[in-house]
Amino acid sequence: MRRLTKWLLVVGLVVTGLTFATQWTLRQSFFRVQHATFVGFHHESAAALLAASGLMNHPSMINLSDATIERNLASFTWIDSVKVTKHWPNSVVVTVHEGVAVAVAFTIKHVLEFVDETGRALGVAPLTTNLPTLHYLHPTTSAWPFTTAGRGAADVAGQLPRAFSPQVSMITDDAHGIVTLKMTTPLTFILGPATNLHAKFVAIASVIAHSTLVPGDVVDVTVPDELAVTPPTHS
């Protein structure tokens, strides 16, 4: 028993020593980041990403993580996530995953911003951008509404089918969560809440393809199996 105890103690000391030695070695300059490559980005420059990432400070390879780089790049609104691939002893490749713009919307300062499917503002958009415009009716605050009360409009924009998405010019949401599509035709489709969207989209595509509508018609697809068409009013 004494021999076993001594043997275990020796093994423990050796393992501990090797662990400390390994940790110490991996923290030496040879195992610090010397080469960094960014891929997958489209809206930022490699130089700006490198400067913000902290990699120019040559952090140790062993401590580097996706979370660390994401945290350092949090100021870049287009970036959703990153993946860090380590090439030992001292090189890394950072693959950037950017958000996808599904719509545009105006800020309270009347600046047009790209918007992703979560309602997040991604950055300034040209006025000529060919995407649906989000609009929140009767806002109660001056804050950006599309990540909160007006989130339904962004949800719909992110799921629009190709069959008619090019015809959608505006997506509105109101304080009651009622989402409406305004088309370029011009027609209006009332979706109601941003739920059961697949069935509602199928109904819209069917109406567009098989029904005779006139400009100004309002089609309520809140209940997809019970469509209601309201003709335009004439003064």
Please state the rounded mean pLDDT for residues 65-91.
94
Whole-prediction pTM: 0.81
Cβ atoms 38, 49 nearer than 8 A? yes
Q: Where are the alpha helices (DSSP H) in 97-218?
A: 151-159, 197-210
What's the CATH number of domain 103-230, 3.30.365.10, 3.40.1350.10, 3.40.50.10960, 3.30.1330.200? 3.40.50.10960
Predicted local distance difference test score (pLDDT) of residue 134: 98
| pLDDT top residue among 17 and 99 | 99
Task: Give residue-wise pLDDT tens across range 170-205.
Answer: 999 998 999 999 999 889 999 999 999 999 999 999
Please state the rounded mean pLDDT for residues 34-50.
95
Q: For residue 89, which of 20, 29, 23 has the smallest C-alpha distance?
A: 29
Predicted local distance difference test score (pLDDT) of residue 27: 52
d(CA 165, CA 199): 15
Predicted local distance difference test score (pLDDT) of residue 24: 46
Predicted local distance difference test score (pLDDT) of residue 180: 98
Domain 30-98 sits in CATH at 3.10.20.310
d(CA 77, CA 206): 37
| pLDDT top residue among 150 and 5 | 150
Predicted local distance difference test score (pLDDT) of residue 12: 53
Predicted local distance difference test score (pLDDT) of residue 42: 93
- Domain boundaries, given as residue ranges, for the chain: 30-98, 103-230
Residue 167 Cα distances to 42, 130, 183, 215, angstroms: 27, 10, 5, 13
pLDDT band of residue 2 (cuts 50, 70, 90) is low
Predicted local distance difference test score (pLDDT) of residue 138: 80
- What values do phi and psi take at 186, rounded to 5? -100, 130
Q: What is the mean pLDDT of the chain?
A: 88
Predicted local distance difference test score (pLDDT) of residue 18: 42
